[in-house]
Amino acid sequence: MASNQPLLEKKQVQAKRSPQTFASTAWAYFRLTRLHKFPAGSDLIFWPSAWGVMLCARTEDLEITTVCAMILLYALGGTLRHGAGCCWNDICDVEFDRQVERSKSRPLASGAISMTGALALFAAHYAVLYYLLTLAGDEAFKVGLVGLYIVDLIYPLMKRFTHWPQAILGLAMTWGLPTAWVSIRGYSDIDAAVVLYFGGVCWTIYYDTIYACQDRRDDIKAGVKSTAVLFGDWIRPILSFFAACFVASLVYAGVITEAGWLYYTITVGGAAACFAKQMLTIDFDNGEQCWQAFKTNGTLVGFLVWAGMAADYAAAVGLISL
């Protein structure tokens, strides 16, 4: 009996440690997808899709139940795309992340999870996203695949070759808009979707440059290229220009879709007011302010753009009376 005691004690210790080890590993994979910061990031992918749904819902007189179902599906898709994008970004940037103070503790950079595990989680996300795209219709499925398998995958590599990775990110983040548009309206009035799409790219450059200001000093040391580094002391007027381009695209989309005054008041006016406040008050050398401004673009700016579209749709189909 005495000879078996050390072995028994070892098994008991392992049994006690297993749940904790499993929980810490699960938490590391959860952090890899950035879901612990939800909805930050996921909302920025979701909103362009939701804008496409609402603009089309008004012109096509879609039933409210159909609109709600689409919004929920795109919310799920946006969350999964963000998770997949974070996995892929950390896989591609693991060596860069280890040189940046804010990112060196990320699960992959710190060694909390393996590269194989990260790739497996990334593949699982893509499998579900592929299925969700099949629900969008044949033409929208093709449009979505271009975004998923081309645009989304090249973004992390761009910071090695250009100071404009935020522009490539914008192409990816806004890809849900043309996908949603084509799913509902085909290629009818596609010019409105195209202009708003490029407006969304300008919006991404705006908010992701603010986000990148958190790491500007470390990025310069590590050789990471970004618009935050490129714009330098001219960052405020340049970002004001991109914000103005986005607001102009909203005006154009409203004219083409014959939007009402609620759209122009809430969507256009609300977005413009938010941008003006940020450009007047933000300190680009203050990391906490940059993080809060970045989050505000998802929680407030994107929502206001959608809310004006939703109110305009509700008035058009008689859900509200003015």
Cα 145 from Cα 125, distance rounded (Å): 14
Tokens of 189: 């009035």
**Cβ-proximal residues to 123 (8 Å cutoff; 6+ apart), any chain:** none
Whether 231 shows a pLDDT value over 90: the answer reads yes
pLDDT of 263 > 80? The answer is: yes
Phi/psi for 203 (5° steps) reads -65, -40
pLDDT value, residue 95: 83
Of the candidates 59, 67, 64, the one whose C-alpha atom is nearest the C-alpha of residue 258 is: 59
User: Can you list the alpha helix ranges (DSSP code H) found in 213-268?
Assistant: 216-222, 227-231, 235-256, 261-262
Contacts of 151 (CB under 8 A, 6+ apart): 168, 171, 172, 175
Q: Mean pLDDT, the chain, as a whole number?
A: 90
Task: Fill in the amino acid letter for 294.
Answer: F
Upstream peptide bond of 165 is cis (omega within 30 degrees of 0) = no
Nearest to 206 by CA among 231, 176, 178: 231
Contact between 158 and 110 under an 8 Å Cβ cutoff? The reply is no
Q: Record the tokens describing residue 290, joined without a space.
A: 């940059």
Please tell me what DSSP assigns to residue 264: I
Q: State the CB neighbour count (10 A cutoff) for residue 124.
A: 14
Q: DSSP character for 112?
A: S
- At residue 96, the pLDDT reads 75
Q: Is 321 helix (H, G, I), strand (E, B) or coil?
A: coil
Burial of 307 (0-12, 13-18, 19+ CB in 10 A): middle
Which pLDDT belongs to residue 19? 47
Distance of CA 157 to the CA centre of its chain: 17
15-35 pLDDT tens trace: 444 445 888 999 999 999 999
What's the pLDDT at 169? Answer: 94
Q: Which residues contact 8 (CB under 8 A, 6 or more apart)?
A: none
User: For residue 282, which amino acid is it?
Assistant: I
Average pLDDT over residues 61-71: 95
Q: pLDDT above 90 covers what percent of the chain?
A: 75
Q: Per-residue pLDDT for 1 more than 60?
A: no
Percentage of the residues of the chain whose pLDDT score is greater than 70 = 94
* CATH classification code of 30-317: 1.10.357.140
> Among 297, 287, 301, 160, which residue's Cα sits nearest to residue 212?
287
pLDDT for position 116: 95
Place of tokens 């950390």: 90
Q: How far apart are the C-alpha atoms of 44 and 207, rounded to whole Å?
A: 10
- In this prediction the pTM is 0.88
At 269-311, the pLDDT tens digits run 999 999 999 999 999 999 999 999 999 999 999 999 999 999 9
pLDDT at 10: 45
Q: How many CB atoms lie within 10 A of CB 112?
A: 17
Query: What is the per-residue pLDDT for 319?
Result: 84
Q: b or e along 143-158 (b: 16 or more beta carbons within 10 Å of the residue's beta carbon)?
A: bbeebbeebbbebbeb
Per-residue pLDDT averaged across 159-164, rounded?
A: 86
Whole-number pLDDT of residue 157: 87
Low-confidence winner among 75-89, 148-162, 198-212, 252-266 (lowest mean pLDDT): 148-162
pLDDT, one tens digit per residue, over 74-129 is: 999 999 999 999 999 999 988 878 887 778 888 998 889 999 999 999 999 999 99
Q: Which residues contact 136 (CB under 8 A, 6 or more apart)?
A: 144, 179, 180, 183
Higher pLDDT, 242 or 61: 242
